[in-house]
Amino acid sequence: MNWMAWTELTAAFFSVIAVILVCMTVYEIKVPCTERKGFLPISTTRGDRLFIGLLSSAYIHLAFLAFTELSLMIALALSTIWLAVLLRWG
Amino acid sequence: MNKITNNKAWWLVLPVFLLVAFSAIVPIMTVVNYSVQDIFDQNTAYFVGAEWYREMLRSPRLLDSLLRQFSYSFSVLLIEVPLGIAVALMMPAKGRMASVSLILVAIPLLIPWNVVGTIWQTFSREDIGLFGWAVNSIGIDYNYASNASDAWFTVLLMDVWHWTSLIALLCYSGLRAIPEAFYQAARIDRASSWAIFRYIQLPRLKSVLVIGVLLRFMDSFMIYTEPFVLTGGGPGNSTTFLSQALTKMAIGQFDLGPAAAFSLIYYLIVLLVCYLFFTVINLQDKAK
């Protein structure tokens, strides 16, 4: 695994993504979700909302890096709140 | 037909998943790892956090090529989509000529990128190329090797020559799928040919056009070979598009960290565009 040049941070990042995917799968099996319409312009399933949330979180981080000197911790906190809001009301 | 939902069927996807894991997921993870480190050799790497991302997002060289890339892809779509529709409308619908024109239109699609590049590189030369010589002899100063806008124009022309056929063929198949009854109804109403195009043909072409636009956008967004063969991205940086800027950085200068950061930004853009198209196609399917 040395050639992949792992760091603690990226390992943690991918572990969190993997844990999210596993949790969502288990949740889906226990409580199958139905498509519904929230504040987003299209009706979405839980998985759609997760994908939209993760992708927009990536863009939030990039915007922080491009336009501000603020710590990425703020971007991370914002993204987490955004993801939660999206999953609940999106 | 009754569809049965059985989640055990997912096991059938396992071989593909393993294949994709090795060809896509593991390399992407590696790129993510590279993007947060300054790498000197196999055993020397320093963690730098988000520094490369910050540098890349503010680097004029890459922002320029990003802007160039977007304007190129939009020009490609702006020319190829209307032209492709026009060609499809003009192609004969039945008979021997229909097959002949289909074959003729499909020929450019069979030619590999680097060959297209070489053809146009020779064809557009001002001294020995027929096109370049002809343009110059009617009094227009044209030289793709020294003039940036000429080089840009030549790369665009190459792509239009190469790929308009794809849009034309997609639209042709879309047009053939319109039932004759629609045209009969239009004739009874004495609809003009513009009205037939606007209210019958164009709406029916929507789904093939979405696919066509997706394919052309993605392909032109990854363009590498044609400008590379033509001028190597020059003159100056005028035809250095994203993938070439990236290759220069990763392989030419061996700046693995910055190149990894930039390729992930590139990847996020592609992912967003793909998702938008995917949503549009899904909405269309639901509307049917």
3-state secondary structure of B48: coil
Instruction: Give the per-residue pLDDT at B2.
Output: 67
> B244-273, pLDDT tens digit by residue?
888 888 888 888 889 999 999 999 999 999
Q: Do A61 and A47 sit in the same domain of this protein? A: yes
Q: Do A62 and B50 touch (CB under 8 A)?
A: no
Whether the per-residue pLDDT at A44 is higher than 70: the answer is: yes
Q: Is B271 on the interface with A (CB under 8 A)?
A: yes
How far is the C-alpha of B226 from the C-alpha of B7, rounded, in Å?
Answer: 45
Residues 6+ apart with CB under 8 A from B145: B151, B231, B234, B235
Q: Do A9 and A44 sit in the same domain of this protein? A: no
Whether the per-residue pLDDT at B10 is higher than 60: the answer is: yes
Whether the per-residue pLDDT at A39 is higher than 60: the answer is: yes
Q: Do A25 and A45 sit in the same domain of this protein? A: no
Residues of B in contact with A13 (CB under 8 A): 32
How far is the C-alpha of B94 from the C-alpha of B81, rounded, in Å?
Answer: 23
How far is the C-alpha of B88 from the C-alpha of B63, rounded, in Å?
Answer: 37
Q: Do B36 and A10 touch (CB under 8 A)?
A: yes
How many CB pairs lie under 8 A apart between chains A and B? 53
> B201-227, pLDDT tens digit by residue?
998 898 899 999 999 999 999 899 888
Res. B109 pLDDT band, cuts 50 70 90 = very high
The answer to whether residues A51 and B275 touch, using CB atoms and an 8 Å cutoff, is yes
* Nearest by Cα to B155 from B165, B140, B145: B145
The answer to whether residues B200 and B129 touch, using CB atoms and an 8 Å cutoff, is no
Mean pLDDT of B117-131: 90
Instruction: Give the per-residue pLDDT at B85.
Output: 94
Domains in chain B: boundaries: 61-287
Whether the per-residue pLDDT at B30 is higher than 60: the answer is: yes
Specify the higher pLDDT residue, B286 or A88. Answer: A88
CB contact residues (below 8 A), chain B span 175-194, against chain A? none
For residue B257, what are the CA distances in angstroms to A78, B31, B34, B212?
Answer: 26, 8, 5, 35
Beta-bridge partners for B46: B38
Tell me which residue has tokens 């993801």: A83
The answer to whether residues B161 and B87 touch, using CB atoms and an 8 Å cutoff, is no
> B139-170, pLDDT tens digit by residue?
888 888 888 888 999 999 999 999 999 999 99
CB contact residues (below 8 A), chain B span 246-265, against chain A? 265
Residues 6+ apart with CB under 8 A from B68: B238, B239, B240, B241
Please tell me the total count of domains within chain A.
2
**Nearest-neighbour CA in chain B from A29: distance (Å):** 10
Neighbours of A43 (CB within 10 A): 13
Residues of A in contact with B58 (CB under 8 A): 66
Q: Specify whether domain B61-287 bears CATH 1.10.3720.10.
A: yes
Q: Do A18 and A60 sit in the same domain of this protein? A: no
Q: Do A62 and A89 sit in the same domain of this protein? A: yes
Q: Do A3 and B42 touch (CB under 8 A)?
A: yes
* Nearest by Cα to B53 from A58, A78, A52, A5: A58
The answer to whether residues B102 and B91 touch, using CB atoms and an 8 Å cutoff, is yes
Q: Do A5 and B45 touch (CB under 8 A)?
A: yes
Q: Do B32 and A55 touch (CB under 8 A)?
A: no
Q: Do A4 and B33 touch (CB under 8 A)?
A: yes
3-state secondary structure of B141: coil
Which contiguous run of DSSP H or E holds residue B215? helix B202-221
**Nearest-neighbour CA in chain B from A75: distance (Å):** 12
Q: Which amino acid is at B123?
A: F
Q: Do A16 and A44 sit in the same domain of this protein? A: no
How far is the C-alpha of B64 from the C-alpha of A78, rounded, in Å?
Answer: 30
**Nearest-neighbour CA in chain A from B44: distance (Å):** 10
First vs last C-alpha separation in chain A = 39
Q: Do A52 and A26 sit in the same domain of this protein? A: no
What phi-psi label fits residue B285: left (phi over 0), alpha (psi between -120 and 50 degrees) or beta? Answer: alpha
Residues of B in contact with A73 (CB under 8 A): none
Whether the per-residue pLDDT at B199 is higher than 70: the answer is: yes
Question: Which of B30, B37, B58 lies closest to A66 in CB terms?
Answer: B58
- Residue A22: domain span: 1-32
Instruction: Give the per-residue pLDDT at A56.
Output: 94
Q: Which of B7, B13, B32 to substitute to test the interface with A, most A CBs within 10 Å?
A: B32
For chain A, state the CA radius of gyration.
15
How far is the C-alpha of B159 from the C-alpha of B154, rounded, in Å?
Answer: 9
Q: Do A19 and A58 sit in the same domain of this protein? A: no
DSSP A61-85: HHHHHHH--S-HHHHHHHHHHHHHH
Query: At CB < 8 Å, which residues of chain A contact B?
Result: 2-7, 9-10, 13-14, 29, 42, 51-52, 55, 58-59, 61-62, 65-66, 72
Residues of B in contact with A2 (CB under 8 A): 42
Q: Do A81 and A48 sit in the same domain of this protein? A: yes
Q: Do B29 and A10 touch (CB under 8 A)?
A: yes
**Dihedral, CA atoms, B161, B167, B171, B174, nearest 10 degrees?**
140
Largest CA distance in chain B: 78
**Nearest-neighbour CA in chain B from A84: distance (Å):** 20
Q: Do A45 and A83 sit in the same domain of this protein? A: yes
* Nearest by Cα to B105 from B88, B123, B85: B88
Q: Which of A1, A8, A9 to substitute to test the interface with B, most B CBs within 10 Å?
A: A9
How many helices and strands, by DSSP H and E, does chain A display?
A: 3, 0
Interface predicted TM-score (ipTM) of this complex, two decimals: 0.90
* Nearest by Cα to B161 from B203, B210, B86, B111: B111
